[in-house]
């Protein structure tokens, strides 16, 4: 006899009243999730193709004065959304590369090499997750203004965004958890065959870690893409600012419909990126908690 783990038994589920109650509840929950999740995106898409008058006077009507695709063209050309999206892509790509390098190497040291100080270092990494990011922003900004021990300043350079994004305690912990699940027999066999630490890392650990690295990559790119406060502080040159920082500057000087078009263009890429890789994200996160068989 199978073990029933549901709050409602299968015998009760066969009753018509319970069956239809569950179906109605599931349908209501699904509709609520669609409205809360996709409703805002659909409304933004509609607003980006509407006139300013329609957005203000009839926000819930579908195109009372027709579809205005020129809003997207004006946002792309006059507001130079393409340039700001390019800056965002450069910022996200650099942050992704830096994050992958730091995350994989740190996790490899803590999980595979396991020096004596590894537990202390793991605890320190975990402790950083308890510190609000706003608290660390002031010393980090002072460091970026002038790198300690040098006369180098990183303001108005992408390095000011790339380097702080390299260290993510959450990413290190989930990748380390994944590395812990790699059978030690494989690592020991490679060492017996004469493989060094770098060869084990490059030819054995990284190929095993492709699923979780895909998850970390998407998380790092999305986090960098939507970041606002830190790029606004360190990228004061408008020619270097990402789309998240550039859009608020247009609020008082640009027509509302064009602003909505610019917001929609800036939102399309991360949404599409998540939709394409959502299976890899969920699979990788679930595999990060796997244990040895």
The per-residue pLDDT for range 35-65, each reduced to its tens digit, is 777 778 888 888 888 888 888 888 888 888 8
pLDDT of residue 160: 93
78-98: per-residue pLDDT in tens?
Answer: 888 889 999 999 999 999 999
1 pLDDT band, cuts 50/70/90, is very low
pLDDT of residue 287: 54
pLDDT of residue 96: 93
Length of the chain in terms of residues written = 293
pLDDT of residue 100: 94
Confidence check: pLDDT of 285 > 60 = no
What average pLDDT does the segment 251-269 reach?
Answer: 85
What mean pLDDT value characterizes the chain? 84
pLDDT of residue 286: 58
HEC string of 30-64? HHHHHHHHHHHHHHHHHHHCCCHHHHHHCCCCCCC
What average pLDDT does the segment 255-266 reach?
Answer: 88
Confidence check: pLDDT of 67 > 50 = yes
């Amino acid at each position: 006899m199978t073990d029933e783990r549901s709050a409602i038994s299968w015998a009760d589920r066969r009753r018509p009243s319970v069956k239809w109650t569950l179906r109605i509840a599931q349908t209501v929950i699904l509709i609520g999730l669609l409205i809360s999740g996709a409703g805002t995106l659909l409304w933004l898409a509609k607003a980006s193709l509407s006139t300013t008058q329609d957005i203000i006077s009839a926000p819930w009507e579908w195109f009372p004065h027709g579809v205005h695709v020129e809003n997207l063209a004006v946002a792309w050309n006059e507001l130079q959304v393409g340039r700001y999206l390019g800056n965002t892509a450069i910022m996200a790509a650099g942050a992704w590369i830096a994050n992958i390098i730091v995350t994989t190497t740190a996790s490899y040291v803590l999980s595979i090499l396991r020096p004596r100080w590894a537990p202390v270092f793991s605890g320190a990494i975990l402790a950083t997750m308890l510190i609000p990011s706003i608290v660390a922003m002031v010393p980090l900004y002072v460091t970026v203004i002038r790198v300690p021990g040098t006369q180098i300043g990183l303001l108005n350079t992408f390095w000011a965004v790339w380097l702080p994004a390299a260290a993510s305690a959450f990413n290190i912990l989930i990748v380390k958890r994944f590395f812990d699940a790699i059978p030690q027999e494989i690592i020991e066999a490679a060492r017996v065959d004469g493989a060094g630490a770098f060869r084990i890392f490059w030819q054995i650990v990284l190929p095993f870690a492709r699923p979780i690295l895909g998850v970390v990559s998407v998380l790092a790119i999305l986090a960098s893409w939507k970041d606002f406060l830190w790029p606004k502080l360190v990228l004061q040159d408008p020619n270097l600012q990402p789309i998240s920082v550039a859009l608020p500057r247009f609020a008082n000087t640009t027509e509302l419909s064009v602003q909505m078009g610019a917001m929609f263009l800036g939102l399309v890429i991360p949404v599409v990126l998540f939709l394409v890789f959502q299976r890899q994200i969920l699979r990788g996160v679930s595999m990060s908690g796997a244990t040895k068989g």
